[in-house]
Structure 1
Amino acid sequence: MKYISTRGKVNEIGFIDAVLMGLATDGGLLVPDKIPQITADELQAMSQLSYQELAYEIISYYVDGEISEIELKELIEKSYGTFRHSEVTPVVKVKDNMYILELFHGPTFAFKDVALQFLGNLYSYIAKKTGVTINILGATSGDTGASAIEGVRGKEGIRICILHPHGKVSKVQELQMTTVNDPTVLNLAIKGTFDDGQRIIKEIFADLEFKDKYHLRAINSINFARILAQTVYYFYAYFQVSKNKKIKSINFSVPTGNFGDIFAGYLAKRMGLPVGKLIVATNENNILERFINEGVYKPGEFRSTYSPSMDIQVASNFERYLYYLLDENSDAVTTVMEQFKSEGKIVVSKEQLRQVQADFAAHGVHGEECLDTIRKYHAKTNYLLDPHTSCGVAAYEQCNDASEVCVTLATAHPAKFNEAIERCEIEQTYPEQIQQLFSKPQFLEVVEADNAEIARRLEKHFTTAE
């Protein structure tokens, strides 16, 4: 297994080099040179595995022997030993043909833990094996930051800086990041949006001299290892649902901002998992809904919503899907992405749009619909949805036929977004780990969304946090 860039200017590299490179040096995103194909017999054998055993089987296809069997199994066991549920990502039946995949049982109560506990331990493994310095730089719309910090804090040879949009994440998300008092952790609250932070991250990574000098590594879903770890729970959900119900395929409804989580489902489908529809659930920042319905990818006006982790206009992982939509033609991807940079939009052909609509359905959920869905399901089923999962359930209701089995991904615990829950006039009890955050001091620096200013902060942090 080798890794190549969506823009075609990176020579074939192995798994560990791909993890260390993060963003491709030509500005594209790394993808495997071939997608492993899993047969029906192999799927049947996998269906009996525990989550950790299944993770080993799926991840092994992509690691391709670069990490020994014993060491990879140890990495996986260590990563998921931190989760509060024995199944790691349990599936809950809410009503006939409608299931919730709970992805919030990790240390920070968000789905990002599934990938970032693994990636944090993987970085630690690489640092010890190779002596390579690991200076992690990432941007977050809320959950990635806390999960990334939790995934790497206390690990020898690793330092981290996280950018988050000042005042545009939930209070609990902010506290989870900024109450960590550790000299190896730097929290920068930028005066701007997540898209500003993501742009700055990409531009800093594109400065290869700066990137190499400070040994910068990516924690965002531009790193393929993130996508890989998330692919596992699509398989796990399918196997859990199909144990008690004879089904040919299932649909997935996925709250989506940066297109990483839904791309993991797309990858699982390409590998051979019997997936029907992949439903893209967005909020008022509905660039992806418009693309799927009209074939036009064009950022609009940023809007703050009740589901802040999805308050994203430019979806970082969209280029990976574009690569497959354009028949793995890296020259075509480069041309389209250059047009996007100069013109601010991408328009696909009618034939390509038909393929997009064969791959995905979409629904943009506005504020009151999000809150109404929380209220309705709490009243009728006593299941409390966080506002992102609520968007997923609302999109399921719009896009899923009643006769089809659908799993909605629950991307966060509702305690992380009490601002929205209170608006629904619902009282919830905070888990003890979250309640304790409110009495802790915060450690963060508020900065302008300026490349040069952030670069200066990085230089200081990565050279003084020894």
Structure 2
Amino acid sequence: MKYISTRGEAPALGFEDVLLTGLARDGGLYIPSEWPQLSRDEIKSFRGMSYQDVAFRVMKPFVCNAHSSISEDDFEAIVAKAYSTFRHKAVVPLAQLDSNEWMLELFHGPTLAFKDVALQLLGHLFDHVLTKQGRKVTIVGATSGDTGSAAIECVRDRACAEIFMLHPYGRVSDVQRKQMTTVLSPNVHNLAVDGNFDDCQAMVKALFNDLSFRDEITLSAVNSINWARVMAQIVYYFTSAVALGAPDREVSYSVPTGNFGDIYAGYVAQQMGLPIKQLVVATNRNDILTRVLTTGDYSVGTVSPTISPSMDIQVSSNFERLLFNLYNKQGDDVRRLMNNLSQSKSFTIDGPELAKAQQIFDALQVSEEDTEATIGQVYRESGQVIDPHTAVGVQAARRKNADAATPMVTLSTAHPAKFPEAVEKVTGRHPDLPAHMADLFEREERCDRLTHDLDALKSYIRENI
């Protein structure tokens, strides 16, 4: 298996090069040249397996092949180490909300968010590959809240990398900020940027598109532009669906999303053979994904702060991967759309491609009022305390569920203690941080503030690597 760029003008690469490269040199995102296929019998064989064993089997075709030097034994050991840090033995357990309504708890990793599922693996992959090659990389990333702490956790104190993490000043929760800024490891650099998440993400992409600077600092990525992030997220669709009866029955999913990576992983699982009935895209009032999937209009608006800040995004990076699939892997079509986005901050998906997308995805925008109401409703009905992002997903699941006989799973993307004010306002209950993080607000912080200026960012990185 080789990996190709969504824009069609970068060389095809093997897995290790894609892991370290992040964004393709033509500005596109890497994607496998073909989807591995899992038969019904193979999927059925996952019943009763540990999460680690399923993860190894699902990801193996992407990693261990003729274009990679990572052996199956090494990869199996990497997977085992990555998920040994999770607090729940099932890694990502299911919780039942109603007779056929479920939550997939993705927040049992070190930083209490779904990003840990991918980034714990990514850290061990980086360590393995870079140590073997005797290299060091500079990781620069942008976060709307959860990616930052998970990325920092995955590479802190590792000799193979320096990490620079940008977050929008004043637009992440206090817990999210403290999880990043209290990591004092010498290879960790936190930057609070004057602007919103899209501003941070645009600067990171600009660094990748400056090829001379990129080569100068050996730039790499941990954001979901890195294919390995999406790859790791495919696994929990398989484990949860099998637990609910797949492949002998279909399962549906509702995914709160801003950058489209988490739900794109569900699309990939479906393409690999998992019988998924519905994929519901759940957005807050920053609803560009809902708009494009319902009308074809991808027009970038102004980011509006919400109580689900990790979804406060207008430019959704991973949507480009879906465009590549919708347009039958025609890089020139993707380039045309991305050029329109760059020039006029909008593009339109054509009729046949929009129809194709609508066959795969449902989409719904959830208001702030409905988000709060859902937190309260779930608490009253089940005693479960959920965070605002999960509430967006639950509300969309309930309003878009097309078949009550099909299990509907909402991806619960963050621990409620990451957003205590929003939760306590509705439930009257202050969600406590787990024991390993109980002293978070007593820890020393280290963070530098930066203007939204690319040259200033370049200078800061040069001075600190």
Tell me, yes or no, if structure 1 residue 251 matches structure 2 residue 252. yes
Aligned twin of 1:166:
169
Aligned twin of 1:21:
21
- Offset at residue 74 of structure 1 (A): 1.0
Tell me, yes or no, if structure 1 residue 71 matches structure 2 residue 83. no
Judge conservation of contact 1:93–1:99 (CA < 8 Å) in 2: yes
Supply the distance in 2 between the matched residues of 1:174 and 1:239 (Cα, whole angstroms).
36
Aligned twin of 2:424:
422
Q: How does 1:395-414 map to 2 (within 5 A)?
A: 395-401=396-402, 402-414=404-416
Q: What secondary structure sits across from 1:81 in the alignment?
A: helix
Aligned twin of 2:117:
114
Tell me, yes or no, if structure 1 residue 195 matches structure 2 residue 198. yes
- Offset at residue 307 of structure 1 (A): 0.2
Supply the distance in 2 between the matched residues of 1:42 and 1:229 (Cα, whole angstroms).
18
CA deviations on 1:8-67 (whole Å, 9 max, x unpaired) are 112221000111110000000000011111111211123342110111111111013321
- Offset at residue 404 of structure 1 (A): 2.6
Supply the distance in 2 between the matched residues of 1:72 and 1:425 (Cα, whole angstroms).
43
Q: How does 1:200-215 map to 2 (within 5 A)?
A: 200-215=203-218
Judge conservation of contact 1:305–1:367 (CA < 8 Å) in 2: yes
Supply the distance in 2 between the matched residues of 1:45 and 1:166 (Cα, whole angstroms).
47
CA deviations on 1:299-353 (whole Å, 9 max, x unpaired) are 1121000000000000010100000010111111111111121121111222222
Judge conservation of contact 2:15–2:63 (CA < 8 Å) in 1: yes
Supply the distance in 1 between the matched residues of 2:74 and 2:156 (Cα, whole angstroms).
21
Tell me, yes or no, if structure 1 residue 183 matches structure 2 residue 186. yes
Q: What secondary structure sits across from 1:189 in the alignment?
A: strand
Q: What secondary structure sits across from 2:85 in the alignment?
A: coil
Q: What secondary structure sits across from 1:362 in the alignment?
A: strand
Q: How does 1:342-353 map to 2 (within 5 A)?
A: 342-353=343-354
Q: What secondary structure sits across from 2:127 in the alignment?
A: helix
Of 224-233 and 337-346, deviating more is 337-346
Give 2:338's aligned amino acid.
M
Supply the distance in 1 between the matched residues of 2:101 and 2:427 (Cα, whole angstroms).
25
Q: How does 1:93-242 map to 2 (within 5 A)?
A: 93-242=96-245
Aligned twin of 1:84:
87
Supply the distance in 2 between the matched residues of 1:73 and 1:149 (Cα, whole angstroms).
23
- Offset at residue 425 of structure 1 (A): 4.0
Of 4-13 and 407-416, deviating more is 4-13
Judge conservation of contact 1:106–1:113 (CA < 8 Å) in 2: yes
Unpaired segments of 5 or more residues in structure 1?
A: none
Q: What secondary structure sits across from 2:438 in the alignment?
A: helix
Supply the distance in 2 between the matched residues of 1:212 and 1:275 (Cα, whole angstroms).
41
Q: What secondary structure sits across from 1:389 in the alignment?
A: helix
CA deviations on 1:403-447 (whole Å, 9 max, x unpaired) are 331110000000000121122142133322332110011100011
Tell me, yes or no, if structure 1 residue 433 matches structure 2 residue 436. yes
Supply the distance in 1 between the matched residues of 2:46 and 2:381 (Cα, whole angstroms).
35
Of the three residues 446, 455, 458, the one matched with 1:455 is 458
Give 2:444's aligned amino acid.
P
Q: What secondary structure sits across from 1:100 in the alignment?
A: strand
Judge conservation of contact 1:282–1:363 (CA < 8 Å) in 2: yes
Supply the distance in 2 between the matched residues of 1:230 and 1:352 (Cα, whole angstroms).
25
Supply the distance in 2 between the matched residues of 1:134 and 1:301 (Cα, whole angstroms).
34
Tell me, yes or no, if structure 1 residue 364 matches structure 2 residue 369. no
Q: How does 1:263-342 map to 2 (within 5 A)?
A: 263-342=264-343
Supply the distance in 1 between the matched residues of 2:287 and 2:340 (Cα, whole angstroms).
21
Supply the distance in 1 between the matched residues of 2:361 and 2:194 (Cα, whole angstroms).
34
CA deviations on 1:242-292 (whole Å, 9 max, x unpaired) are 17xx95211100010100001000111111100111000100100000111
Give 1:414's aligned amino acid.
P
- Offset at residue 83 of structure 1 (A): 0.3
Unpaired segments of 5 or more residues in structure 2?
A: none
Of 370-379 and 42-51, deviating more is 42-51
Judge conservation of contact 2:136–2:159 (CA < 8 Å) in 1: no
Q: TM-score, normalised by structure 2?
A: 0.97
Q: What secondary structure sits across from 1:327 in the alignment?
A: coil
Judge conservation of contact 1:94–1:100 (CA < 8 Å) in 2: yes
Supply the distance in 2 between the matched residues of 1:352 and 1:47 (Cα, whole angstroms).
36
CA deviations on 1:171-191 (whole Å, 9 max, x unpaired) are 000000000112110000000
Supply the distance in 2 between the matched residues of 1:316 and 1:429 (Cα, whole angstroms).
33
Judge conservation of contact 1:91–1:241 (CA < 8 Å) in 2: no
Supply the distance in 2 between the matched residues of 1:454 and 1:11 (Cα, whole angstroms).
28
CA deviations on 1:141-167 (whole Å, 9 max, x unpaired) are 000000001011122222111000010
Supply the distance in 2 between the matched residues of 1:230 and 1:199 (Cα, whole angstroms).
24
Q: What secondary structure sits across from 1:361 in the alignment?
A: strand
Give 1:112's aligned amino acid.
K
Q: What secondary structure sits across from 2:244 in the alignment?
A: helix
